[in-house]
Amino acid sequence: MIYLKTAEEIALMQEAATLLSRTLGEIAKWVAPGVTTLRLDTIAREYMQDHGGRPACLGYEGFPASVCMEVNETVVHGFPSNYTLREGDILGTDTVVELNGYCADMCYTFAVGEIDPKVRQLLVDTKESLAIGIAAAREGARIGDISNAVQTYCEKRGYSVVREMCGHGIGRKMHESPEIPNYGRRGIGPVLKAGMVICIEPMINLGSRNIVIERDGWTCRTKDRKPSAHFEHTVAILHGETRVLTSFDPIAEALGPRFI
Ligand code: MF3
Ligand code: CO
C-alpha cells in the first residue's frame, strides 16, 4: 500500500528533511583523518536530539546506532566504531531523523583528505546518478524509469549497481512501499502520483556488484572489497513538480572547495 501525503504532511516532512540536511552538515564539519566514526555518530545524534528530532535508525530492528557508517568497501548499514578515519578513505553517512512523527532519510559519501582519482570519480558519478534518478521521478512516470535512468548512467561508466538493496517510500515509517531499485526496465512498476514521497539511493560499486553481509547481520560490503559509493535524497512528487526535501547545501557550506 502506497500512502499519498497531503500538502500538510509534506510540509511536516520538509521540516524533518531540513533538520536531517543540517545534521549531515554538522557531520561534514568533523569528517577528517583521525576522527572515529563513533564520534561522528554521537555528534549527529546529539544534533538531532537538541533540535527535537529522534534518530530513527537507533534501535530500528536492533540497529545499534544513529548513523550507518560506510567506510570504503562498506555498501550500507555499517556500525559506528573506534575505527579512525585515514587520508584516502571514503565514508558514507546514511541516517534517518523523525520529527513531527515523520521521517526523512539521506546519505552523503565523503572523501577523507586526498583520495584516489578513480574513487573520487566514483563519488562524482554516483552523486550525479542520484540527480539523474531524481530528474526521472516525475508525476505520471513509473518507478522503472528512475531505476533505468540510474542503472544506464552508472553502467555506461563501467560501474556496477548493487541489486539487493533499494530505495523506498517514506513517511511515518522510514521504509514504506514502493521499493525503488537502482536497476530495471523503463515503463515498469508503479506510476508516480502526486503525494508520493520516496527515497532514491544509488549504491554503486567500482568493482563487481556482488555483496556480502558480515556476521553482525547488518554490515553490507562489496565481495571484492573494492569501494562503494552511496548518495540519497528524500523526494516528494507533487502536481507538475518534484521537490527534493533533503539538501546537500549544508554539507557544501561546511566543506567549501572540498565538496563533491
Ligand atoms: N537509509 C537506510 C535504509 O534505507 C537507513 C537504514 S537505518 C537502519 O536502509 F537502522 F536500518 F540501519
Ligand atoms: Co534509505
The protein residue whose alpha carbon is closest to atom 7 in ligand 1 is 57
CA 68 to ligand 2 center in whole angstroms: 10
The DSSP line for 159-223 is -EE--S--EEE-SSSSSEEEEE-SS--TT-SPBP-TT-EEEE--EEESS-S-EEE-TTS--EEET
Task: Give residue 34's pLDDT band: very low, low, confident or very high (50, 70, 90).
Answer: very high
User: What would the CATH number be for the domain defined by 7-255?
Assistant: 3.90.230.10
Atom 8 (ligand 1): residue with closest C-alpha? Answer: 57
Question: How many C-beta atoms surround the C-beta of residue 178 within 10 A?
Answer: 17
Return the percentage of the chain with pLDDT > 70, whole number: 100
pLDDT in tens, 53-97: 999 999 999 999 999 999 999 999 999 999 999 999 999 999 999
Q: What is the pLDDT of residue 168?
A: 98
Mean pLDDT calculated for residue range 110-117:
98
Question: Which of ligand 1's atoms lies nearest the C-alpha of 165?
Answer: 9
Residue nearest to atom 6 of ligand 1 (CA): 57
Provide the 3-class DSSP secondary structure of residue 64.
Answer: coil
pTM beyond 0.95, yes or no: yes
44 pLDDT band, cuts 50/70/90, is very high
